[in-house]
Amino acid sequence: MISARVRVFLALMIGIALLVVLVAFLQRRSGYYVPSKADPPPTPASASPPDSANPSPEPSSKPDPEIPSNPTAPPIGFVGTLKLVLPVAGVQPNQLLDTFTDSRSEGRMHDAIDIPAAQGTPVVAVADGQITKLFQSERGGITIYQLSTDQKLIFHYAHLQRYADGLSEGKAVRQGEVIGFVGDTGNATPGNYHLHFSIAVVSDPKRHWEGTNINPYPLLRN
Ligand SMILES: [Zn+2]
């Protein structure tokens, strides 16, 4: 009888002990699960910032090309309607070299096109317009500034040997009219006969030096 009661007691104790162990085991497992569940959330949370960071560069990189294309588009679209003639007599379009982005002294960009030609070759107006300034500069030598008829573009001719006879500031010139002759004045270096030609888009036709130079090359090639 007694041994039977003891067995029952022991069985109960063992049962309780097993239950306690089982509960403790489950608590530990659930305890492990909690941090392991907490760990994954940070991972997707830390993975979602890159995801949300990736889309943000994409939209920001998409407007970026639009921004530079906008400032360049208006001048290109604008001057694309122009039909310029080559400013140096006898030079063919396929002889031109694009030197617009060439570097010059003091970190400057060329912002112009150089057209080599023999000394004294006639220089002609690329379009109709008005001579706004005849100027001798240290760099450009004997130069001409010509304003387009719509007053939006300044054509700049430099390193001239001399002006055409009768050329004066304020004179209206026609496309193809001889306005000067190729030389090596200014910083062209002696014997390096060429025309330095640039086109500037101006907001104020009286302030040609504030213009933004555009590449003459594609306009003269067409
Ligand atoms: Zn030049």
Summarize pLDDT for 100-133 with one digit per residue, the tens.
999 888 888 999 999 999 999 999 999 999 999 9
Cα(86) to centroid(ligand 1), Å:
15
Length of the chain: 222
d(C-alpha 131, C-alpha 143), whole Å: 11
Q: Which CATH class is domain 84-221?
A: mainly beta
Cα separation values, 71 from 66, 131, 156, Å? 9, 28, 22
Tokens in use for 131? 């001579």
- Position 2 scores a pLDDT of 58
d(C-alpha 159, C-alpha 209), whole Å: 17
Q: How is the chain split into domains, by residue range?
A: 2-60, 84-221
Residues 6+ apart with CB under 8 A from 115: 86, 87, 88, 91, 96, 194, 195, 197
Cα(159) to centroid(ligand 1), Å:
8
Cα(110) to centroid(ligand 1), Å:
6
Cα(36) to centroid(ligand 1), Å:
70
Q: Answer with the residue of higher pLDDT: 90 or 25.
A: 90
Cα(158) to centroid(ligand 1), Å:
8
Cα(104) to centroid(ligand 1), Å:
9
- Rounded to the nearest integer, the mean pLDDT of the chain is 79
Model-wide pTM > 0.85: no
- For residue range 165-201, list pLDDT tens digits in order: 999 999 999 999 999 999 999 999 999 999 999 999 9
Q: Contact 154/200 with Cβ under 8 angstroms?
A: yes
